[in-house]
Amino acid sequence: MTVSPTTPHLLRPHALKPGDLVALAALSGPLPEQYAPNVDTTHTVLERMGFRVHRSPLVQVDRNRWWSAAAPTEIADQLNTLLRDPDVRAIIAVDGGQTVFGYLDLIDLDAVRADPKPILGYSDLSLLHLALHARTGLVGFHADMAVPGFGHHWQNAPAADQARLETLYRHLLTSTEPFGPLPAFSTWECWRPGTAEGPLIGAVVNRIALVQATSFALPLDRFNDAILFWEEIGGHTSHVWSYLQVLRHAGILDRISGMIIGVPRDIAGLEPGTSPTLPELVFDVLGDRDIPVLANVDIGHAGPNLPMPLGIRAALDATSRTLTLLEPAVQTVP
């Protein structure tokens, strides 16, 4: 399938082949000793999917600088080395954290453009996807990483779900054919019926709001008819309300065609019987914007992640509770 003529800025990563080298990289937070087994398990999962695995030098137990795996300059050097290495065909984050803002301006964007590679991760890494998509058009994968995704959440899922996840991830990384309807591992909820079609754009909701205040902001036209996906962990319902208000003031909510909300985790104020509920909060901000809203979707911190490739066109049917990828996330190597 060819690149959609409606998205000339899109930069699809090169498709992986069996036996290709995948790098596990510390792109944000450190690796505490108790999570080291997650990395070992991720290594096994990726090999089972047909890839060779390399651990970058910063993936060391209890190596840290403040709340990060290393200083931002060191993490940028590691990332740039992987981006420039022709043998490395994909980069998977070990964990999230609070570091990506410190090195956005140190990334070798020419290396991204010259040899686009799949980069996988969520949480703080969703910021990296947004910034690289803004600057280069790269299709980043808001998707599982070693901790806790491949190495923990996957292992707690039923065997049949693990097999479906492996099939999904392998397809998105290796095939130039659209995947089609994504599987649901939780009970998706229709909060507002309707259908929409457009590019997937999203991240942790606080990262969407914060990146738009920087020079790495996505141009507003990237949100035209987009299906906005977001999730959140921690904080309070008032924080989520405030971040959504930022998106409203920025004009983003006036441009999107649909919304997907991940399973919330550890958000104070969402306890049973409290008000506002998350639907009340969302519709308070959306106002009379009549767009379909599908919620409780498997993206984010609450469990195994359905990969959301940024910029790839999707069809949302909130009424039927389905989400379909209409384009491939990768391209054949020229």
Q: Which residues contact 122 (CB under 8 A, 6 or more apart)?
A: 96, 142, 143, 144, 145, 149, 204, 231, 299, 300, 301, 305
The per-residue pLDDT for 6 is 40
Task: Tell me the mean pLDDT in the region 87-100.
Answer: 97
Count of Cβ atoms closer than 10 Å to residue 312 Cβ: 26
The per-residue pLDDT for 333 is 81
pTM of the model: 0.95
Tell me the β-bridge partners of 142: 121, 308
328: exposed, middle or buried (Cβ count in 10 Å: 0-12, 13-18, 19+): buried
The per-residue pLDDT for 86 is 98
Task: Tell me the mean pLDDT in the region 105-123.
Answer: 98
Tell me the β-bridge partners of 236: 268
Q: Which residue's entry shows tokens 């060191």? A: 74
All structural domains of the chain: 21-174 (3.40.50.10740), 180-325 (3.50.30.60)
Task: Tell me the mean pLDDT in the region 145-163.
Answer: 93
Half-sphere exposure of 191 (CA within 13 A, CB side): 21
The per-residue pLDDT for 206 is 96
The per-residue pLDDT for 20 is 98
Task: Tell me the mean pLDDT in the region 39-67.
Answer: 95
Task: Tell me the mean pLDDT in the region 298-312.
Answer: 93
Tell me the β-bridge partners of 230: 203, 261
Tell me the β-bridge partners of 93: 25
Q: Which residues contact 215 (CB under 8 A, 6 or more apart)?
A: none
Q: At residue 334, does pLDDT exceed 90?
A: no
Share of the chain above pLDDT 90, in %: 92
Question: Residue 2: which pLDDT band, with cuts at 50, 70 and 90?
Answer: very low
pLDDT in tens, 231-253: 999 999 999 999 999 999 999 99
- DSSP for 85-142? -TTEEEEEES---S-GGGTGGGS-HHHHHHS---EEE-TTHHHHHHHHHHHH-B--EE
Instruction: Measure the CA angle with vertex 165, ends 160 and 169; round to 5°.
Output: 155
- What is the separation of C-alpha 154 from the centre of its chain, rounded to a whole number of angstroms? 16
Tell me the β-bridge partners of 308: 142
CA–CA gap between residue 28 and residue 10 (Å, rounded): 25
The per-residue pLDDT for 1 is 28
Question: Residue 7: which pLDDT band, with cuts at 50, 70 and 90?
Answer: low
The per-residue pLDDT for 8 is 54
Question: Residue 5: which pLDDT band, with cuts at 50, 70 and 90?
Answer: very low
Round the average pLDDT of the chain to a whole number and report it.
95
Separation in Å, CA 263 to CA 10, 29, 118, 189, 240: 28, 22, 24, 10, 13
Q: At residue 303, does pLDDT exceed 90?
A: no
Q: At residue 3, does pLDDT exceed 60?
A: no
